[in-house]
Structure 1
């Protein structure tokens, strides 16, 4: 109702007075009808909240009569604005209570019908003419429409505000999880974000476009990081995906198949940083897919400096031979260890004759002595040369 001056009826003072004396009774009838016909409102009308709503209904009816009669000395516009503010607040309250606008819209329809029935009865008994009665009906329903619109706006604004607030809290929770914050802090952050933790989480590292495309296939409790991650290249991001069961993990792996996505291990949700660090390690090595399938590569590359030192120590005896021979003996030692000394398999791996393998292994025995049969040395050599 953008121009209320055009809608004002200027009800005769005696008619308006009669209708105003019946306001309390009309309000009671409206509330009774809403409670009866809108099940969602049976509980809210109890206790203090119920009394507040009764006052709001009476205020709305008073505001309507102010608009219809434009009483001397009263700025109807200001009073109507106050009523609209109350309707707006009612819509926000509905959103905070977790209810949609459906129940409130139905309540408005029921209220308009009952209010019109009761108020038109009073108006006719006070002698209101038929043309004025028709205009009164028009004003009643236009007024209700405006109240309803105000409530819809309040409901939408509350959802937007609460949605943004919850998303900020989810973002903070995600950052704390990736940082490996203490468990007590994580539990508190999850409660503030109204996030129900799964038993296990896993980190999914993938291109941003792939993440957007996979959202519909992931658990609704998945946590998406709003900002880019410093450790990842531009265009890549991380999602923390609930994986309470092996079946849930298998579903995520299927969704990530044939892509550059990397899936870390499923771990207790408060320990998901370990899953992220493993996925990040695989990302740096371009090991895509299930990190569980790359455990050996991840282990032997976990500490590059330490592995380099181990390699130097393992290959130290080869310093006694010419550089050209060193490379061949190193290749032979690696193949001999991996194929557990089976000469034909070593020869096939190196594309040489078995007698060549026999000759080179003899050289290795001369250089390494008993260490070639020492379990600890064999372990170190396999790790160093893997």
Structure 2
């Protein structure tokens, strides 16, 4: 039970009980009517509080009726004792447990507090009628009313404490399960294990998940605008990545979001939400294979792809670059191989011809377009292409060589033709 739980003290109710003199006849009459009063209270709650219309029907209604009768019995023990030291712990403990049970059932405290208000009204109506039948003086009836409502306040406070404690406990446990699930998703756990962990975390799987990498400082600012099923691993990127470098970025300052159902038109909304937050967005994937999305976003982050000052790096717009850079060492080997005819040239000459060859491939041999891209005269392009044809010979007419050259030169990385030993 909570350290601040109201079952530890009941001073207001106890003081009222010490001042109340009901007499044996009135107490006996009140006790005899307890079952009837409890039944009327439960009926009123079912009618007036929508959250309990179905919950209190059938066997559950009988249990709650017994609980109401127990609470009223505790009240009468208190009222009949005339002693401020009469223990309230049993009834307040029951109210505390009731609050925890409501939280576990998924109901908010609004319904329970409404039930207490209805219960207080109905109980007092019936108790006061009985007090009048017992010919209690008006001042005693007034004190009796004060004690009834003080007692209901104590019960309400105990239930609120129980509800709060249960939510805190289950919330922490669920959060731990969600963290386990998030890490398993990023590590590429098996589908069977992921489904089991989702069930354990009481997480309703979406159709797709999309990995987003962004500075940790921006995480909280976007979470409120995303699907509630979005997962946010507590680990920073330093704990989630392999030792591969992330350029000049510190992995410890980056975080990950696994955004639920951000595919199709929803992706446009996601990109707009992330604008200006230095985010990199992977592709939407079936939720059990979101590791693919995460690895692609990570690769794009490592390549330091840019998309303007405030734009988001959308990996779907950089697929060709991601493909040709997926194996950097193979790409380096391909470059050296296809640019071997330039190996004996002076570096400055080799660089100019390589740049011209790249633009010639990208512009499908259109001389004027190549000249415009390089800011040179079309005749200069013609001269350089003559040099290249002399160096490469008939290979520039070979489709396979053209494909290899296109791939090798497509990514703008340092181009270093092999040099003679």
Q: Same fold (TM over 0.5)?
A: yes
Aligned equivalents of 2:12, 2:394: Cα separation in 1: 102
Residue matched to 1:43? 54
Q: 1:237 aligns with which of 224, 247, 255?
A: 255
Does the 8 Å CA contact 2:262/2:270 hold for their aligned counterparts? no
| 1:322–1:36 CA distance, 2 compared to 1 (3 A) | closer
Kindly report which structure 2 residues correspond to 1:256-267, keeping only aligned pairs within 5 A, or say none: 256-267=274-285
1:187 paired with 2:185, answer no
In 1, distance between residues paired with 2:282 and 2:89?
56
Taking structure 1 as reference, are residues 27 and 379 closer, same or farther at Cα in structure 2, changes over 3 Å only?
same
Distance 1:385 1:144, change over 3 A: same
Query: Cα 1:190–1:381, aligned 2, differ >3 Å: closer, same or farther?
Result: same
Q: Does the 8 Å CA contact 1:262/1:279 hold for their aligned counterparts?
A: yes
Instruction: Tell me: CA distance 1:244–1:339, structure 2 relative to 1, closer, same or farther (3 Å).
Output: closer
Q: By how many angstroms is 1:244 displaced?
A: 5.3
Match of 2:90 in 1: 82
Q: What SS does the corresponding residue of 2:212 show, helix, strand or coil? A: strand
Cα offset, 1:141, TM superposition: 0.8
CA RMSD of aligned residues (A): 2.4
Q: Residue 12 of structure 1 aligns with which residue?
A: 23
Q: Which residue of 2 aligns with 1:376?
A: 400
Name 2:119's counterpart in structure 1: 111
Change (3 A) 1:331 1:126: closer
Match of 1:310 among 334, 355, 366: 334
Structure 2 matches for 1:144-155, cutoff 5 A?
144-155=152-163
The 10-residue stretch of structure 1 (208-217 or 291-300) with the greater mean CA deviation from structure 2: 208-217
Runs ≥4 residues deviating over 6 A: none
Gaps of 5+ in 2: 1-9, 242-249, 307-312, 411-421
In the alignment, structure 1 segments of 5+ residues that lack a partner are: none
Q: Is the 2:210–2:262 contact (alpha carbons within 8 Å) kept by the matching residues of 1?
A: no
Kept in 2: contact 1:333–1:361 (CA 8 A): yes
The TM-score with structure 2 as length reference comes to 0.83
Task: Measure the CA separation in 1 of the matches of 2:92 and 2:225.
Answer: 43
Helix, strand or coil for the counterpart of 1:217?
coil
Structure 1 SS opposite 2:364: coil
1:130 aligned residue (110, 129, 138): 138
Q: How many residues are paired up?
A: 383
What secondary structure, in the 3-state scheme, does the structure 1 residue paired with 2:252 have?
coil
Farther-moved stretch of structure 1 (31-40 vs 277-286): 31-40
Alignment check: 8 A CA contact 2:95 2:159 kept: yes
TM-score (normalised: structure 1): 0.90
- Give the structure with the higher percent helix: 1
Cα distance in 2, alignment partners of residues 107 and 367 from structure 1:
91
